[in-house]
Amino acid sequence: MKIAVFSTCHYDQEFLERFNTRHDLVFFEPALSLQNASLTKGFDATCIFVNDRADRELISLLHDNGVKLILLRCAGFNHVDLETATELGIKVFRVPAYSPEAVAEHAMAMILTLNRKTHKAYNRIREGNFSLEKLMGFNLHGCKVALIGTGKIGKAFYKILKGFGCKIIAFDPFPDAELESEGLQYGTLEEALCDAEIVSMHCPLTDATHHMINSITLKLFKKGAMLINTSRGGLVSTADVIEALKSGQLGYLGLDVYEQEGKLFFHDLSEDVIQDDLISRLISFPNVLITSHQGFFTREAMEQIASITFANADAFISGKNLENELVI
């Protein structure tokens, strides 16, 4: 099968070539868009990532170009119009879980960095400044953490939090019976967020969860609380978060995802003027830590993404083992 791979970085190509089973791969560095959709002519499938466009208009173009399969190199699929794909007979497969621990560990790394200010201490020491002034953190042991979403990543993060001795209350429309048996307490969103000292997002982006964290829900946090989002940028209203940071209601912010990340993340813009005023404002805060959607980025995760992607392609051809197919 001939597959057009978009949003390709050198590490994507390295792992996809290593785990390729029998397919003809052509790599394109840009994200898939209306401007370059013509590149898919003559291909059986296209392989895309989190910031590639796959709305109704683009999927219609893929169909016109003869594409029969969309392979997602990610778990999230909010950027794909499944209704149009189904209507046009294009199959869509995803990688539902490639390394939950990778994202969960990154979330904890962000918490520890923001709390103990290790990034600031590193820079100080390099400048010969050994002062501890303004580097004070707080104990995670006994800290109330709101765990928003207990899917595979949330579950992995829960186990990490338990190891730190945190007091955890979770919100998920579908509670995990195994976690409940281990003692995890579930509550409403309001109950989870109320007086939380740390709030960590681990849920998908849907119409129901869009801007779940906003000016109203932020007021439920304990004053000076920490918000961590390693899930999807649209879960958080960036403008409301900025106001909460300015007022002190929010004391720390860690983002590995961002609402408008498509034109920013995975690109070197060091010589450019950033046109996004919201992220420029966020970068200016001393209590904000932003990483460029790297939570998934471990060797183990890349191996899983590549191997499952090709397993999905093979399943499409054989018509067997279709458990990763997205259907509406």
Residues with active-site annotation: 232, 261
Distance CA 263, CA 145 (A): 32
Sign of CA dihedral 97, 98, 100, 104: negative
Q: What is the DSSP string of 269-283?
A: -TTS----HHHHHHH
Phi and psi at 288, nearest 5°, equal -120, 135
Distance CA 123, CA 245 (A): 23
- Inter-CA distances, 231 with 31, 53, 92, 280, Å: 20, 18, 21, 21
- Inter-CA distances, 129 with 81, 124, 289, Å: 53, 5, 21
* Alpha helices (H) along 1-117: 10-19, 56-64, 82-87, 100-116
Q: Which pair of structure tokens corresponds to residue 176?
A: 């995990």
Distance CA 310, CA 279 (A): 36
Which 8-state DSSP code applies to residue 325? B
Distance CA 231, CA 242 (A): 19
Contacts of residue 149, defined as CB under 8 A and 6 or more positions apart, other chains included, come to: 170, 171, 172, 201, 202, 203, 204, 231
Q: Which pair of structure tokens corresponds to residue 52?
A: 């590639």
